């Protein structure tokens, strides 16, 4: 059983997942800082306040704190927009890099073209020797 556990842990998928979780938590800190420290102050300038947590509805003597929900929705939407642009930028960068590699590969002659050039050079050398 211990050997099975070692094999399970040593598989690439588990290690990839673990690395993904660590990277995601680090990326979460970056996105949260971007939202809280950079984007939300600009929204605060436009709207006057970015903290919705104090919004409360009084219905029949019961206080319903919808402010936390509104705050979570606004934060989610901002994070979704930021991630959309980050993913879009990464995809554009990757496409640009892939296209550059394709161009480099297209510039290289194929094996058949190289062999044909070698054949032609050998023929030319034989004719020049005769």
pLDDT of residue 88: 92
Work out the mean pLDDT of the chain and round it to a whole number: 81
Residue pair 90/42 in contact by the 8 Å Cβ criterion: no
Long-range CB pairs of 43-50 (<8 Å, 24+ gap) are: 43/78, 50/74
Helix axes 67-107, 12-33, angle to 10 degrees: 120
CA 18 to chain centre: 17
Instruction: Express as a percent the part of the chain with pLDDT over 90.
Output: 1
Domain boundaries, the chain: 1-47, 51-129
The helix or strand, by DSSP H or E, that contains position 82, with its residue range, turns out to be: helix 67-107
pTM value > 0.85? no
pLDDT of residue 102: 67
How do residues 19-78 score in pLDDT, each as one tens digit?
Answer: 888 888 888 888 888 878 888 788 778 877 667 778 888 888 888 888 888 888 888 888
Instruction: Express as a percent the part of the chain with pLDDT over 70.
Output: 90
């Amino acid at each position: 059983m211990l050997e099975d556990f070692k094999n399970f842990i040593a598989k690439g998928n588990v290690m990839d997942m673990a690395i993904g979780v660590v990277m995601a938590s680090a990326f979460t800190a970056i996105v949260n800082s971007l939202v809280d420290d950079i984007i939300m102050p600009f929204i605060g300038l436009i709207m006057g306040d970015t903290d919705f947590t104090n919004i409360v509805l009084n219905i029949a003597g019961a206080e319903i704190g919808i402010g936390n929900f509104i705050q979570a929705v606004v934060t989610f939407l901002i994070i979704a927009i930021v991630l959309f642009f980050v993913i879009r930028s990464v995809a554009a960068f990757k496409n640009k890099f892939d296209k550059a590699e394709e161009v480099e590969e297209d510039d290289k002659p194929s094996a058949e073209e190289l062999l044909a050039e070698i054949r032609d050079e050998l023929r030319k050398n034989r004719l020049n020797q005769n």
